[in-house]
Amino acid sequence: MDDNKENRTVIEAEVPMGTVHPGALEPYRLRLFVEDEIVRDAEMTVGVNHRGVERIMEGLPVEKANSLTEKICGICSNSHIWNSCRVGEIALGIEVPERAVYIRVIMGELERLHSHLLYLAHGSEVLGHETFAMRLFYIRETVMELLRMIGGNRVQYGSAVLGGVRPRCELDQMRIQKLSEGIELLKEKLNDFANRFVSDPLVMSRITGVGVTKPEDALRLACSGPTLRATGVEMDLRTGMYEYDSFEFDVITQDDGDVKSQLLTRVFENFESIKIIQQAIRNLPDGPITNRSWEMQDTPITKSYIEVPRGTLYHSYALEDGRVRNSVIRTPSMANIGAMQYSAIGHHITDAQLCIVQCDPCFTCTDRAIQIIKR
């Protein structure tokens, strides 16, 4: 990629990590090629997690297939079901009631909060800072409780159905009250944490200048989401999504592209999410939450891109007799794998896991379509 990084010398040894490793948590194989403990090359093998969700979706009724996409990932489950429903809505021309859109946005932003907090906690754990990790898990618990209150489950809480949201996810006065209180509390806790985090000299010295991805490289590697924004490229699909038309928020960017800017991007995005949720609570429109007046018909392959906590999520399928055909899903972590391998090069082996974690990997999402060629 870069000239001075490409200039590699003799590779001394290979350090294989995984598929069970405390730094990684998820099962994947990582081969680090080191020379005197400095990583010269890295190779990541995904596909360990491949279960074939698209294969199972093939031929299922569209409602069932939508709720199946939830099981792709336990972290961004709502995003998957949201985007999958969005494909159906675009294909069938269903108009979603405004209240349902607002509830979807609230769920999406709560999910972004919990995903980013989890990311920060995992990052702290890989840094070796157990106290920060525990603190973040504690803050995250507030979000989990809110998600459980609205979605009914702590993890698989997907709210969207074709044409609106589930009746379970209706926000009545009590829930709105609890939501706004929870968000206030969260803001306070996050503020404290962010102040503590940026003023910690030991942590800052550990993460500054490590795992740098330059913006041009990030674009060439096709990174997406916060990973791209942390390198200084202002790109957020939320600015173009009709769901976010009535919300005001800033697109957070950082300049350096190192682990510090990656972590800080997530910290600041949390505050933007809080802002969006507060706007949504304030302006929550009245009306129905599902639009049931639509008819099933055959449609060609339709695609939809949305911004999820980790980046750009792509879903596409065609409908035939109300059943899903040719389902393709591309998750953001797939796009960020290049950045993970690239940013680890040239750093100490202890930082290698950190460089991977900074791109917010989710390999259960990533292990999608893999073509098995038998020779």
Partner 1 sequence: MSLKSYSRGRAVHVMLVYTGGCNGCDIEIVNCILSPKFDAEQYKVFLTWNPREADVLVVTGPVTKYNEQPLREIYKAIPEPKAVVAAGACALMGGVYKNCHGDIPSEEISGPVDQIIPVDAKVPGCAVRPQDVVAGLVSALPLLLNAD
Partner 2 sequence: MELTYPLIAVIGTLATSFIVSLFLPGIERKFIHARIQQRVGPPITSPGIMAPIKFFFKQTINPESPMPKLYNALPLISIIIIIILLLVLIPQMYFLGALTSIIAVIGLLKVEEIMYMFMGSLSKSVLSVRMPFPDRAKGAAHPNTPRTFFEELSSLRAFRLIAFGSFPIYIALFVSVAMTGSIYLTDIVAYQQANGPILFTLSGVLGAIVFFIGYMILLNEYPFAILKGKPDVVEGPYLEYAAKYRAYVYITRGFLMFTLATLFATLFLGIAPNILNPNFIITLVVALIFPMIMAVMSAFSPIFTYKQFYPTVAGVSIVGVLAIVAALL
List of residues contacting partner 2 (CB under 8 A):
11-23, 29, 31, 33-34, 37, 41, 43, 45, 48, 124-131, 134-135, 138, 200, 202-203, 205-206, 348-354
11 binds, among partner 1, partner 2, none (CB under 5 to 8 A by kind): partner 2
Map the chain to HEC letters. CCHHHHCCCCCCEEEEECCCCCCCCCCCEEEEEEECCEEEEEEEECCCCCCCHHHHHCCCEHHHHHHHHHHHCCCCHHHHHHHHHHHHHHHHCCCCCHHHHHHHHHHHHHHHHHHHHHHHHHHHHHHCCHHHHHHHHHHHHHHHHHHHHHHCCCCCCCCEECCEECHHHCCCHHHHHHHHHHHHHHHHHHHHHHHHHHCCHHHHHHHCCCCCCCHHHHHHCCCCCHHHHCCCCCCCHHHCCHHHCCCCCCCCCCCCCCHHHHHHHHHHHHHHHHHHHHHHHHCCCCCCCECCCCCCCCEEEEEEEEEECCEEEEEEEEEECCEEEEEEEECHHHHHHHHHHHHHCCCEHHHHHHHHHCCCCCHHHHCCCCCCCCC
Q: Which two tokens stand for residue 278?
A: 């507060």
- Our CB check for partner 2 shows the closer of 11 and 90 to be 11
Q: According to CB under 8 A, which one of 65, 75, 218, 274 is a site residue for partner 1?
A: 75
Closer residue to partner 1 (CB): 257 or 311: 311
Nearer Cβ to partner 2 (31/71): 31
Stretch that binds partner 1, among 137-145, 219-227, 248-256, 284-292 (CB under 8 A): 137-145
CB 4 to partner 2: min, Å: 18
Q: How far apart are CA 39 and CA 145, in angstroms?
A: 41
Contact flag: residue 27 with partner 1 (CB under 8 A) = yes
List residues bridging with 34 in a β-sheet: 13, 39
Rounded to the nearest whole angstrom, what is the least distance from the CB of residue 312 to partner 2 in the complex? 27
69 binds, among partner 1, partner 2, none (CB under 5 to 8 A by kind): none
- Using a 10 angstrom Cβ sphere, with 0-12 exposed, 13-18 middle and 19 or more buried, the burial of residue 159 is buried
Nearer to partner 1, 74 or 300 (CB): 74
201 binds partner 1 (CB under 8 A): no
- Residue 153 binding partner per list partner 2, partner 1, none, with a CB distance cut-off of 5 to 8 Å that depends on partner kind: partner 1
Binding to partner 1 by residue 51, rule CB under 8 A?
A: yes
Q: Are 272 and 191 in contact (CB under 8 A)?
A: no
**Residue span binding partner 1 (CB under 8 A) among the ranges 158-166, 210-218, 276-284, 362-370:** 362-370
| Of the candidate residues 129, 140, 260, 310, the single one contacting partner 1 (CB under 8 A) | 140
Per the document, the length of the chain is: 375
Instruction: By CB under 8 A, name the one of 19, 246, 278, 302 that touches partner 1.
Output: 19
Listed ranges 7-15, 50-58, 287-295, 318-326: which one lies at the site for partner 1 (CB under 8 A): 50-58
Place of tokens 């079901």: 81
Q: Does 138 bind partner 1 (CB under 8 A)?
A: yes
From 66, 278, 226, select the one nearest 161 (Cα to Cα). Answer: 66
The option from partner 2, partner 1, none interacting with 155 (CB < 5 to 8 A, set by class) reads partner 1
Which one of residues 11, 134, 185, 198 is an interface residue with partner 1 (CB under 8 A)? Answer: 134
Residue 68 binds which of partner 1, partner 2, none (CB < 5-8 A, kind-dependent): partner 1
CB of 8 to partner 2, least distance (A): 10
User: Is residue 149 within the footprint of partner 1 (CB under 8 A)?
Assistant: no
Interface residue list for partner 1 (CB under 8 A) = 19-22, 25-27, 47-52, 55-56, 68, 71-75, 77, 118, 121, 125, 130, 133-135, 137-138, 140-141, 144, 153-156, 362, 364, 367, 372
